A and B are shown apart, each in its own frame.
Chain A
Amino acid sequence: MSAAAIAVDAGELPLGGGLLALLRPALDALAPEGVVAVRSTQPGVAHDLPSWCRSERHQYLRAEAQADGSVLHFVARGRFGVPRVVGDEGDAHSGFAPRGARVEPGGPPHPYALGDVAHLPPAAQTRQLYEQAVQAQWRADELPWQEARPLPPRLENAVAQVMTFLAENELSALYVPSRFVARVHPAFADAAQFLATQMMDESRHIDVFVRRARLHGAALGISSVTTSRSLLSLLAVEDFTEAAFLLSLLGEGTFLDLLRFVEEHAPDALTAELARRTRADESRHVHFGSVHVRHALAGDPRQARRLEDAVRRRAATLHGAGGVPAPIADALTLLAAGDDTPAAIARGHAHFRALLTTMHEGRLKRLVHAGFSDEEAHRISELHTPNFM
């Protein structure tokens, strides 16, 4: 006689009329050979339950008539399909099961390449950044679009050129993380979820930059070959840590200084506000990249050399690309000048040169913060693409 671990009162329910909705979860809670007692007043159950047990490889043990006319049916759980709790790191066969789910064995292996802690940023910090990102979402129509008055044509065109450059870079920042989302094991879904917020941010940024460029009827600016080459080299990166390093830490890090420059020299409150808001988003992405790289360097100091090599390879492919692309250099100069008189342009150009220094210093600070030595940080910053990103 086996004592039942679980009792289910199925009343008059027929097997095909709801009884299984009580019995199956009860059996799923048991280890093989664990027993469920089903109280039933439905005569058909005596025919159907043993057959169902045969079909599902559970063992129908016996029936006991009760004084009240009901029958107790005893079922022992079979040995097949016992769900297993998957550890925090998941495995190939846990598939899309969320962390902590009980997974039925025998499922197909899934092809996630990024399924170990060494190649992903720490989950707790990732989660925190993800939640911040969800909180910080905003809509393009919250910006003060009506308050921007048309600017003199040269200045308006400069704004359009800057916005074109920003949108182009943000398009690459939308595509690059997308390559890694599908490679992250769902047990580390926080990383994929953070990347999703990053992609949503970039998508919104693309919209506001293009909308600002066209606000007063200006045409979009020029996309230079240097920019195109530089961004393509980001898209080609196969390693997640390298991508976090090149795109988020270096590229978007440099972008923070560029957006602060745009905000400081914005010709209207709208442009200042959109630069401020997008920079707030970008700083989260930089933070994520920094956490990721710091984690990688802490786990394996040889990573520093590997990441430096990645910058070196990228610089080599961009060799001969020259300095900052002329259209964006000129547009930033004009933006900082505020008007096109020679005296103003001289001031604007001084601001532009100062921006390059600020960017270099910002990169050094972020590289050291991420765990590189001063010497490494200097070498890496010097190698960084003249395209800013």
Chain B
Amino acid sequence: MNANILLGAVAYDPKVVTIWEGIRDYFRAAGLAFDFVLFSNYERQVERLLKGHIDIAWNTPLAHVRVKQKTEGRSRSLGMRDSDRDFHAKIVVRTDAGITSPRALAGKTLAVGSRDSTQARILPLHFLKQAGVELERVNLLPFDTDLGKHGDTGTSELDVLRALAEGRADAGAVGDLVWVNEQAAGRINPQSLEVLMTTPGFDHCMFDAMPDFDDARAEAFTRALFAMQWENPAHRRLLELEGLRQWLPPREEGYESLRRALDETNGW
């Protein structure tokens, strides 16, 4: 198959096939010689991007900052979802746990997501520490599910909420979207859980390309990508599955907190 743009994505769910086959058909209809490959984890995808086996990687924030670091900041960021901007994590507590400030988490059980989940593990712990919490005095209840998927599946966040609902944890860390969507769907008992703390904002996924990815292809890719419309039924089906209303240009400032967190924890 002749493709002058080969994109990598991680198969964190069967729907990833539907998403990328749909986007591939859309790109091809727009005149782009495009194809994709799927990886089982982000570490392999980053490695293959760095070796030049793929042109673009659809990366989590953790994979994105690693690509930036390995390329000494020279990798090309091409675009992101509207939902990737201003992500927050929530520290949710049981109302009966008597936790009224972050410092009161000392001695309590805090459920957290996979250790490679930016929103349910890395940044919540980073921001709690910034808020003066002595993490070594908090009992962590980790859900290291789907490692390598960087929290994409959301499984570990649902595990955190379940542990909270069942009283196995006093507090838990989840992403803001999981938290409000579970509430909107009526799956949270509002009497038993509440938010203790909302972290500062950070940015999420990014399309990464190597520094030598040329302008013409980058331009062709982003032009077609940004032309997808929520109001178009064929596009909407794909955008819904991928969790966005519109694609946006890249921005780098939203990854600083993640870089600091990785520095502090030797997490690179």
Contact surface of A with B, Cβ cutoff 8 Å: 14-17, 20, 43-44, 47-48, 50-52, 54-55, 57, 80-81, 93, 105-109
- If A48-B195, A105-B231, A106-B231 touch, whether A54 touches B184 (CB-CB below 8 Å) is no
A to B CB contacts below 8 Å, 30 in the list: A14-B183, A15-B184, A16-B184, A44-B190, A44-B194, A47-B90, A47-B194, A47-B195, A47-B198, A48-B180, A51-B88, A51-B90, A51-B176, A51-B177, A51-B180, A51-B198, A52-B180, A52-B183, A52-B184, A54-B86, A55-B176, A55-B177, A55-B181, A55-B184, A57-B245, A80-B230, A105-B230, A106-B230, A107-B233, A109-B233
- If A44-B194, A48-B180 touch, whether A106 touches B188 (CB-CB below 8 Å) is no
Which residues on the A side are within 8 Å of B190 (C-beta)?
14-17, 44
Measured in the bound complex, the distance between the Cα atoms of B237 and A109 in whole Å is 13
Contact A106 B88 (CB under 8 A): no
B42 interface residue per 8 A CB criterion:
no
Measured in the bound complex, the distance between the Cα atoms of B182 and A20 in whole Å is 13
CB distance from A3 to the nearest CB of B (A): 25
- If A51-B177, A93-B233, A106-B232 touch, whether A15 touches B198 (CB-CB below 8 Å) is no
B130 interface residue per 8 A CB criterion:
no
Partner of B236, one of A47, A55, A106: A106
B221 interface residue per 8 A CB criterion:
no
Per-residue interface assignment for chain B, residues 225 to 261, with 1 indicating a CB less than 8 Å from any chain A CB and 0 otherwise: 0000011110010000000010000000000000000
Which residues on the A side are within 8 Å of B179 (C-beta)?
48, 51
Specify the chain B residue showing the minimal Cβ separation from A47: B195
Specify the chain A residue showing the minimal Cβ separation from B88: A51
B82 interface residue per 8 A CB criterion:
yes
Partner of B183, one of A16, A50, A54, A106: A16
Which residues on the A side are within 8 Å of B230 (C-beta)?
80-81, 105-106
Specify the chain B residue showing the minimal Cβ separation from A18: B190
Measured in the bound complex, the distance between the Cα atoms of B194 and A20 in whole Å is 16
Which residues on the A side are within 8 Å of B232 (C-beta)?
106
Specify the chain A residue showing the minimal Cβ separation from B235: A106
Measured in the bound complex, the distance between the Cα atoms of B237 and A156 in whole Å is 64
B2 interface residue per 8 A CB criterion:
no
The 9 residue pairs across chains A and B that have the minimum distance between CB atoms:
A16-B183, A17-B190, A14-B190, A47-B195, A51-B176, A106-B236, A52-B180, A105-B231, A16-B190
Measured in the bound complex, the distance between the Cα atoms of B182 and A55 in whole Å is 12
CB distance from A109 to the nearest CB of B (A): 7
Residues of chain B in range 167-204 having any CB-CB distance to chain A below 8 Å: 176-177, 179-184, 186, 188, 190-191, 194-195, 198
Residues of chain B in range 141-184 having any CB-CB distance to chain A below 8 Å: 176-177, 179-184
Specify the chain A residue showing the minimal Cβ separation from B194: A44
Measured in the bound complex, the distance between the Cα atoms of B181 and A48 in whole Å is 10
Which residues on the A side are within 8 Å of B245 (C-beta)?
57, 80
- If A54-B86, A55-B176 touch, whether A16 touches B186 (CB-CB below 8 Å) is yes
Contact A106 B90 (CB under 8 A): no
Specify the chain A residue showing the minimal Cβ separation from B82: A57
Measured in the bound complex, the distance between the Cα atoms of B176 and A20 in whole Å is 16
Measured in the bound complex, the distance between the Cα atoms of B40 and A172 in whole Å is 59
Specify the chain A residue showing the minimal Cβ separation from B195: A47
Measured in the bound complex, the distance between the Cα atoms of B109 and A267 in whole Å is 90
Contact B195 A106 (CB under 8 A): no
Contact B233 A44 (CB under 8 A): no
Of residues B82, B88, B176, B177, which shows the largest number of chain A Cβ atoms within 10 Å of its Cβ?
A: B176
Measured in the bound complex, the distance between the Cα atoms of B245 and A55 in whole Å is 10
Contact A54 B233 (CB under 8 A): no
Which residues on the A side are within 8 Å of B180 (C-beta)?
15-16, 48, 51-52, 55
Which residues on the B side are within 8 Å of A14 (C-beta)?
183, 190, 194
Of residues A14, A16, A47, A93, which shows the largest number of chain B Cβ atoms within 10 Å of its Cβ?
A: A16
Which residues on the A side are within 8 Å of B82 (C-beta)?
57
- If A51-B177, A51-B198, A54-B176 touch, whether A17 touches B184 (CB-CB below 8 Å) is no
CB distance from A284 to the nearest CB of B (A): 39
Specify the chain A residue showing the minimal Cβ separation from B186: A16
Partner of B188, one of A16, A54, A93: A16
Measured in the bound complex, the distance between the Cα atoms of B195 and A154 in whole Å is 88
Specify the chain A residue showing the minimal Cβ separation from B236: A106
Which residues on the A side are within 8 Å of B83 (C-beta)?
54-55
CB distance from A104 to the nearest CB of B (A): 10
Which residues on the B side are within 8 Å of A54 (C-beta)?
83, 86, 88, 176-177
CB distance from B226 to the nearest CB of A (A): 15
Which residues on the B side are within 8 Å of A47 (C-beta)?
90, 194-195, 198
Q: A48-B183, A51-B176 are in contact. List 10 more A-B contacts (CB 8 A).
A: A14-B183, A43-B194, A47-B198, A51-B179, A52-B183, A55-B180, A57-B245, A81-B230, A105-B230, A106-B231
CB distance from A91 to the nearest CB of B (A): 12
Measured in the bound complex, the distance between the Cα atoms of B236 and A203 in whole Å is 43
- If A15-B183, A51-B180 touch, whether A108 touches B233 (CB-CB below 8 Å) is yes
Which residues on the B side are within 8 Å of A17 (C-beta)?
190-191
Which residues on the B side are within 8 Å of A81 (C-beta)?
230
Which residues on the A side are within 8 Å of B177 (C-beta)?
51, 54-55
Which residues on the A side are within 8 Å of B198 (C-beta)?
47, 50-51
Measured in the bound complex, the distance between the Cα atoms of B83 and A81 in whole Å is 16
Which residues on the A side are within 8 Å of B194 (C-beta)?
14, 43-44, 47
CB distance from A19 to the nearest CB of B (A): 9
Contact B86 A106 (CB under 8 A): no
Which residues on the A side are within 8 Å of B182 (C-beta)?
16
Which residues on the B side are within 8 Å of A51 (C-beta)?
88, 90, 176-177, 179-180, 198
Measured in the bound complex, the distance between the Cα atoms of B230 and A20 in whole Å is 23
Residues of chain B in range 77-99 having any CB-CB distance to chain A below 8 Å: 82-83, 86, 88, 90
Contact B195 A44 (CB under 8 A): yes
Measured in the bound complex, the distance between the Cα atoms of B36 and A360 in whole Å is 71
Measured in the bound complex, the distance between the Cα atoms of B183 and A109 in whole Å is 32
Per-residue interface assignment for chain B, residues 37 to 65, with 1 indicating a CB less than 8 Å from any chain A CB and 0 otherwise: 00000000000000000000000000000
